[in-house]
Structure 1
Amino acid sequence: MRSVTIRNVPDEVHRAIRVRAAQQGRSIEAEMRDILESAVKPQGRIKLGSLLTEIGRKVKLTDEEFAIFESVRDNTPARVVSFE
Protein backbone atom coordinates (compact mmCIF):
# COMPACT_ATOMS: atom_id res chain seq x y z
CA MET A 1 0.00 0.00 0.00
CA ARG A 2 1.28 3.47 -0.89
CA SER A 3 2.00 6.27 1.57
CA VAL A 4 1.17 9.91 0.95
CA THR A 5 2.49 12.99 2.69
CA ILE A 6 0.32 16.10 2.65
CA ARG A 7 2.13 19.30 3.53
CA ASN A 8 0.80 22.70 4.55
CA VAL A 9 -2.57 21.53 5.85
CA PRO A 10 -4.22 24.56 7.50
CA ASP A 11 -4.64 24.25 11.25
CA GLU A 12 -8.44 24.58 11.07
CA VAL A 13 -8.64 21.73 8.52
CA HIS A 14 -6.43 19.49 10.66
CA ARG A 15 -8.52 20.34 13.73
CA ALA A 16 -11.77 19.54 11.86
CA ILE A 17 -10.38 16.18 10.72
CA ARG A 18 -9.25 15.39 14.26
CA VAL A 19 -12.75 16.15 15.60
CA ARG A 20 -14.41 14.13 12.84
CA ALA A 21 -12.07 11.19 13.54
CA ALA A 22 -12.88 11.32 17.25
CA GLN A 23 -16.61 11.32 16.49
CA GLN A 24 -16.17 8.20 14.33
CA GLY A 25 -13.86 6.51 16.85
CA ARG A 26 -10.97 6.42 14.38
CA SER A 27 -7.45 7.72 14.20
CA ILE A 28 -6.75 10.84 12.15
CA GLU A 29 -4.95 8.67 9.60
CA ALA A 30 -7.91 6.29 9.26
CA GLU A 31 -10.28 9.25 8.93
CA MET A 32 -8.16 10.78 6.17
CA ARG A 33 -8.13 7.45 4.30
CA ASP A 34 -11.92 7.33 4.56
CA ILE A 35 -12.25 10.92 3.31
CA LEU A 36 -9.97 10.23 0.34
CA GLU A 37 -11.76 6.99 -0.54
CA SER A 38 -15.16 8.68 -0.37
CA ALA A 39 -13.94 11.46 -2.63
CA VAL A 40 -12.69 9.19 -5.40
CA LYS A 41 -15.17 6.32 -5.08
CA PRO A 42 -18.60 7.86 -4.64
CA GLN A 43 -21.33 5.60 -3.28
CA GLY A 44 -23.83 6.32 -6.04
CA ARG A 45 -21.70 5.36 -9.01
CA ILE A 46 -22.94 2.56 -11.22
CA LYS A 47 -20.46 -0.06 -12.34
CA LEU A 48 -20.79 -1.40 -15.87
CA GLY A 49 -20.97 -5.06 -14.79
CA SER A 50 -23.72 -4.30 -12.30
CA LEU A 51 -25.65 -2.37 -14.92
CA LEU A 52 -25.42 -5.21 -17.45
CA THR A 53 -26.48 -7.74 -14.82
CA GLU A 54 -29.53 -5.62 -13.99
CA ILE A 55 -30.45 -5.39 -17.68
CA GLY A 56 -30.19 -9.18 -17.95
CA ARG A 57 -32.52 -9.58 -14.99
CA LYS A 58 -35.06 -7.16 -16.43
CA VAL A 59 -35.25 -9.03 -19.74
CA LYS A 60 -35.33 -12.33 -17.81
CA LEU A 61 -32.54 -14.20 -19.58
CA THR A 62 -32.75 -17.96 -19.20
CA ASP A 63 -29.75 -20.03 -18.13
CA GLU A 64 -29.42 -21.27 -21.71
CA GLU A 65 -29.35 -17.72 -23.08
CA PHE A 66 -26.79 -16.68 -20.50
CA ALA A 67 -24.63 -19.70 -21.41
CA ILE A 68 -24.48 -18.43 -25.00
CA PHE A 69 -22.84 -15.21 -23.80
CA GLU A 70 -20.34 -17.16 -21.72
CA SER A 71 -19.46 -19.48 -24.61
CA VAL A 72 -18.64 -16.69 -27.08
CA ARG A 73 -16.53 -14.62 -24.69
CA ASP A 74 -13.20 -13.75 -26.29
CA ASN A 75 -10.39 -14.00 -23.73
CA THR A 76 -7.52 -13.22 -26.10
CA PRO A 77 -5.32 -10.33 -24.98
CA ALA A 78 -5.91 -6.96 -26.60
CA ARG A 79 -3.48 -5.89 -29.32
CA VAL A 80 -1.79 -2.50 -29.49
CA VAL A 81 -3.27 -0.36 -32.24
CA SER A 82 -0.88 0.98 -34.84
CA PHE A 83 -1.79 4.16 -36.72
CA GLU A 84 1.04 3.91 -39.24
Structure 2
Amino acid sequence: MAALSIRDLDDSVKEKLRLRAAQHGRSMEAEIRAILTEAVDDEAPRADLFSALTARFSQMGGVDLDIPPRSTPPRAADLPE
Protein backbone atom coordinates (compact mmCIF):
# COMPACT_ATOMS: atom_id res chain seq x y z
CA MET A 1 0.00 0.00 0.00
CA ALA A 2 1.12 3.53 -0.74
CA ALA A 3 1.52 6.27 1.83
CA LEU A 4 0.60 9.88 1.17
CA SER A 5 1.42 13.08 3.05
CA ILE A 6 -0.59 16.26 2.62
CA ARG A 7 1.17 19.46 3.65
CA ASP A 8 -0.34 22.90 4.24
CA LEU A 9 -3.88 21.62 4.80
CA ASP A 10 -6.05 24.41 6.15
CA ASP A 11 -7.12 23.90 9.77
CA SER A 12 -10.80 24.38 8.87
CA VAL A 13 -10.57 21.57 6.29
CA LYS A 14 -8.97 19.28 8.86
CA GLU A 15 -11.77 20.05 11.33
CA LYS A 16 -14.44 19.36 8.72
CA LEU A 17 -12.76 16.05 7.89
CA ARG A 18 -12.67 15.17 11.59
CA LEU A 19 -16.39 15.90 11.97
CA ARG A 20 -17.27 14.00 8.79
CA ALA A 21 -15.26 11.00 9.95
CA ALA A 22 -17.06 11.04 13.30
CA GLN A 23 -20.44 11.19 11.55
CA HIS A 24 -19.50 8.09 9.55
CA GLY A 25 -18.03 6.32 12.58
CA ARG A 26 -14.50 6.00 11.27
CA SER A 27 -11.07 7.49 11.74
CA MET A 28 -9.95 10.55 9.80
CA GLU A 29 -7.53 8.37 7.87
CA ALA A 30 -10.30 5.94 6.90
CA GLU A 31 -12.58 8.85 5.96
CA ILE A 32 -9.93 10.43 3.73
CA ARG A 33 -9.26 7.03 2.14
CA ALA A 34 -12.99 6.63 1.41
CA ILE A 35 -13.24 10.15 -0.05
CA LEU A 36 -10.24 9.63 -2.33
CA THR A 37 -11.40 6.19 -3.42
CA GLU A 38 -14.86 7.49 -4.31
CA ALA A 39 -13.39 10.50 -6.14
CA VAL A 40 -11.30 8.38 -8.49
CA ASP A 41 -13.62 5.39 -8.86
CA ASP A 42 -14.40 5.11 -12.58
CA GLU A 43 -17.05 2.49 -11.92
CA ALA A 44 -19.24 4.77 -9.82
CA PRO A 45 -22.12 6.07 -11.92
CA ARG A 46 -22.59 9.82 -11.81
CA ALA A 47 -26.19 10.87 -11.36
CA ASP A 48 -27.63 13.43 -13.71
CA LEU A 49 -29.27 16.51 -12.20
CA PHE A 50 -32.82 15.14 -12.45
CA SER A 51 -31.85 11.88 -10.73
CA ALA A 52 -29.95 13.73 -8.02
CA LEU A 53 -32.89 16.05 -7.31
CA THR A 54 -35.37 13.16 -7.35
CA ALA A 55 -33.26 11.23 -4.86
CA ARG A 56 -32.84 14.27 -2.61
CA PHE A 57 -36.55 15.13 -2.50
CA SER A 58 -37.70 11.52 -2.19
CA GLN A 59 -35.89 11.41 1.16
CA MET A 60 -38.18 14.24 2.30
CA GLY A 61 -41.36 12.56 1.11
CA GLY A 62 -41.26 13.77 -2.48
CA VAL A 63 -42.88 16.73 -4.13
CA ASP A 64 -46.13 16.65 -6.11
CA LEU A 65 -46.68 19.59 -8.41
CA ASP A 66 -50.00 20.46 -10.03
CA ILE A 67 -49.10 21.41 -13.57
CA PRO A 68 -51.96 23.33 -15.18
CA PRO A 69 -52.93 22.47 -18.73
CA ARG A 70 -51.49 24.67 -21.47
CA SER A 71 -53.90 27.48 -22.33
CA THR A 72 -52.22 28.46 -25.61
CA PRO A 73 -50.67 26.24 -28.28
CA PRO A 74 -46.88 26.11 -28.34
CA ARG A 75 -45.25 28.45 -30.84
CA ALA A 76 -42.20 27.92 -32.97
CA ALA A 77 -38.96 29.59 -31.94
CA ASP A 78 -37.99 32.67 -33.92
CA LEU A 79 -34.31 32.09 -34.80
CA PRO A 80 -32.41 34.72 -36.77
CA GLU A 81 -30.43 33.45 -39.73
TM-score range normalised by the length of the shorter chain? 0.5 to 0.7
**TM-score (norm. length: structure 2):** 0.53
How far apart are residue 11 of structure 1 and its match? Answer: 0.5
Question: 5+ unaligned residues in a row in structure 2: which ranges?
Answer: 47-81
How far apart are residue 28 of structure 1 and its match? Answer: 0.2
Query: Matched residues in 2 for 1:39 and 1:12: separation?
Result: 21
Query: Matched residues in 2 for 1:27 and 1:17: separation?
Result: 10
Partner of 1:5 in structure 2?
Answer: 5
Mapping 1:38-77, distance limit 5 Å: 38-42=38-42, 43-44=44-45
Partner of 1:36 in structure 2?
Answer: 36
Deviations 1:34-73 (A, max 9, x none): 010011015207xxxxxxxxxxxxxxxxxxxxxxxxxxxx
Question: 5+ unaligned residues in a row in structure 1: which ranges?
Answer: 46-84
User: Once superposed, what is the RMSD of the aligned Cα atoms?
Assistant: 1.3
- Kindly tell me the number of residue pairs found equivalent between the two proteins: 45
Compare the two structures and name the one with the higher helix fraction: 1
- Percent identical among aligned pairs is 49
**SS of the counterpart of 2:4?**
coil
Letter in 1 for 2:3: S
Runs (4 or more) in structure 1 with deviation over 2 Å come to none
**TM-score (norm. length: structure 1):** 0.51
How far apart are residue 32 of structure 1 and its match? Answer: 0.3
